[in-house]
Structure 1
Amino acid sequence: MAWWKAWVEQEGISVKGSPHFNPEPDAETLYKAMKGIGTNEQALIDVLTKRSSLQRQQIAKAFKAQFGKDLTETLKSELSGNFEKVMVALMYPPYRYEAKELHDAMKGIGTKEGVIIEILASRTKSQLQEIMKAYEEGQQR
């Protein structure tokens, strides 16, 4: 669900990102946090929640370049439950995440109308256009 986005927009909260950003050390921190037995969840929180969406995309590219692994898939394999859902959600660009949520709400038996209504009824025309574009791109993959 994208309830948090509406709340963030309403409250004027935004992640500004790190002013001295460098994706390579962040990628290494994430790799070390998930290497071996156990996961350093605090390290994941410290990096991923203090970077903007664009910065997280750059970290994912650096992670792939440095370690040959997809960061989102690595998070999925190392985490579980709601913590996994939040960390994986952070790795999606905002409109792509909402398009994914719409797709998930409509797949399989039954439809999650609440998710669909929440996303579609609370967005501006331009936001809906971006979500539709992301949805169509996701269908082509």
Structure 2
Amino acid sequence: MAWWKAWVEQEGLSVKGSPHFNPDPDAETLYKAMKGIGTNEQAIIDVLTRRSSTQRQQIAKSFKAQFGKNLTDTLKSELSGKFEKLMVALMYPQYRYEAKELHDAMKGLGTKEGVVIEILASRTKKQLEEIMKAYEEGQQG
């Protein structure tokens, strides 16, 4: 579950992003960080945690345009464990990520009630509407 997101909301923190933003150098930095043998995890952290969600989406588009690869898929192939999960989570728009978490919590045998309760009981009506919209779009695609 998005424990870090709940903490960020509780603490009133948010990533403001870079004021003089250009996605192309960021995409190049990420590509170089994951190119060849080994991965420069600090470079990935420096880029993805210092950009807003909207800026990360623009970086992903630039990454695809420049290198012909999906950034999220590349992160998945280069990283592992909780670090991978966190970096990949950062690449989802907020409501799409929450919809994905709900879907994952309810698929297969059994339901992860804690995840469902945390998301559904701690969001405003407007946020729930956005999550439901993203959930429905995810089921169609």
CA distance in 2, matches of 1:106, 1:121: 16
Q: How far apart are 1:12 and its partner, in Å? A: 1.1
Please tell me whether residue 118 in structure 1 is matched to residue 122 in structure 2: no
Q: What's the counterpart of residue 4 of structure 1?
A: 4
Q: How does 1:100-139 map to 2 (within 5 A)?
A: 100-139=100-139
SS in 2 for 1:69: coil
TM-score normalised by L of structure 1: 0.98
Per-residue deviation, residues 96-118 of structure 1 (Å, max 9, x unmatched): 00000000001111111100000
Q: What's the counterpart of residue 46 of structure 2?
A: 46
Which residue identity does 2:48 align to in structure 1? L
**4+ residue runs of structure 1 moved beyond 3 angstroms?**
none
Please tell me whether residue 33 in structure 1 is matched to residue 29 in structure 2: no
C-alpha contact 1:27 1:59 (8 A) present in aligned 2: yes
- Give the root-mean-square deviation of aligned CA atoms: 0.7
Which residue identity does 1:43 align to in structure 2? A
CA distance in 2, matches of 1:37, 1:97: 30
Q: Aligned residues, how many?
A: 141
CA distance in 2, matches of 1:54, 1:28: 18
Q: Which runs of 5+ in 2 are unaligned?
A: none
Q: How far apart are 1:5 and its partner, in Å? A: 2.2
Give me the identity figure in percent.
89
Please tell me whether residue 83 in structure 1 is matched to residue 90 in structure 2: no
Q: What's the counterpart of residue 63 of structure 1?
A: 63
Bigger RCO (CA 8 Å, 6+ sep) = 1
TM-score normalised by L of structure 2: 0.98
